[in-house]
Amino acid sequence: MTADFLLLLWTLAKVLAVTIPVVLAVAMFVYWERKVIGWMHVRMGPNQIGPLGLLQAFADVVKLLLKEIVVPTNASRFLFFMAPLMALVPALAAWAVVPFSTGLVLSNINAGVLYLLAMTSMGVYGIILAGWASNSRYALLGAMRSAAQVVSYELAMGLALVCVLVLAGSLNLSRIVEAQGGGLLHWFWLPLLPMAVIYFTAGVAETNRAPFDVAEGESEIVAGFHVEYSGSAFALFFLAEYANMILVSFLASIFFFGGWLSPFPAHWGVIGQGSFFWLLAKAFVLAFLFLWFRATFPRYRYDQIMRLGWKIFIPIGLVWVLVAGLLKYLHIITPGA
């Protein structure tokens, strides 16, 4: 009995150990996004609340939590409230297999990549349910767009991961990182450069971020799937979206940029050693790319998104799977050097 209780406590502690930093990171990321986009617009961004506006995100959270949740007429109440959870839970659950450093991972399961693919695809159910349960045509349109988009980009993302798996020879994320050992040029971004680009772009599309944000295209369908959500229910969608962005940044650094490995040779002392901070730095740079894209690119037209996914990414992906196979078969790449 006590053993069960202790196990429960221990599990809870492990869950909180990842969830709380992720939520805090989301808060800071939202602030950072508004700052960066402001700077790129030659504005200042939020600078009133707290020093340099650092507490802006927390003020927004308080505002959202205090607001009323309006349920539309004839909305399916149960699904309406389930949908934000269905969007958020997979976004947080995926963090369970992310290795932060050597051995520093919640569950070091062997089929980690499959678990990740499953979890990141689950998130779209929340979006579809939100669109359907809202009883609003804008929401429904947004949900349909999102579903079609995620399905087509999942394939490109999968092909990019297949290339990584071929080179690393493992589905375990820690092993994938270890297979990239040996310095900057041994990371998978070099042999798989097109796939790294495709993976990250597909990640941007999966998280429905600009320039692939037709699912919530403000100018056409107001806010898409979450148009009827307000208050804390909306906050959950917001949290899920940003948690997914950070997750994609972490995963791209793990799959293509050597995870926690240092880009410098090992005899350079502290900065030559692999550590959590290297992973953090890489993920930060990639997360910055999300914001940079948003400030730079106009939104894709819907048929252009489908064309990019099906007629460009997938053929390139298929070809590169072959290339990756040849690289491995001819021993041009030997993982874990």
Helix (H, G, I), strand (E, B) or coil at 104: strand
Q: How far is the CB of 288 from other proteins (least distance, A)?
A: 10
Q: How far is the CB of 312 from other proteins (least distance, A)?
A: 8
Backbone angles phi, psi at 133, to 5 degrees: -75, -20
Contacting residues toward other proteins, per CB under 8 A: 36, 39-44, 47, 197, 292-293, 295-297
Q: How far is the CB of 218 from other proteins (least distance, A)?
A: 20
Which candidate, 11, 178, 176, 174, places its Cα nearest to that of 105?
174
Q: How far is the CB of 29 from other proteins (least distance, A)?
A: 17
Measured between alpha carbons, how far is residue 236 from residues 15, 94, 130, 152 in Å? 18, 16, 12, 25
Q: Looking up tokens 């489908």, which residue turns up?
A: 306
Residues in the chain, total: 337
- Cβ closer to other proteins: 268 or 292? 292
- Cβ closer to other proteins: 170 or 201? 201
Contact criterion met (CB below 8 Å) for 167 and 192: yes
Q: How far is the CB of 307 from other proteins (least distance, A)?
A: 12
In eight-state DSSP terms, residue 267 is G
Distance CA 188, CA 88 (A): 30
Which candidate, 81, 90, 31, 86, places its Cα nearest to that of 61?
31
- Cβ closer to other proteins: 82 or 197? 197
- Cβ closer to other proteins: 95 or 300? 300
301: left (phi over 0), alpha (psi -120 to 50) or beta: beta
Q: How far is the CB of 134 from other proteins (least distance, A)?
A: 34
Q: How far is the CB of 42 from other proteins (least distance, A)?
A: 5
In eight-state DSSP terms, residue 97 is G
Q: How far is the CB of 297 from other proteins (least distance, A)?
A: 7
- Cβ closer to other proteins: 35 or 226? 35
Burial 154-189 (b: 16+ CB within 10 A, else e): bbbbbbbbbbbbbbbebbbbbbbbbbbbbbeebbbb
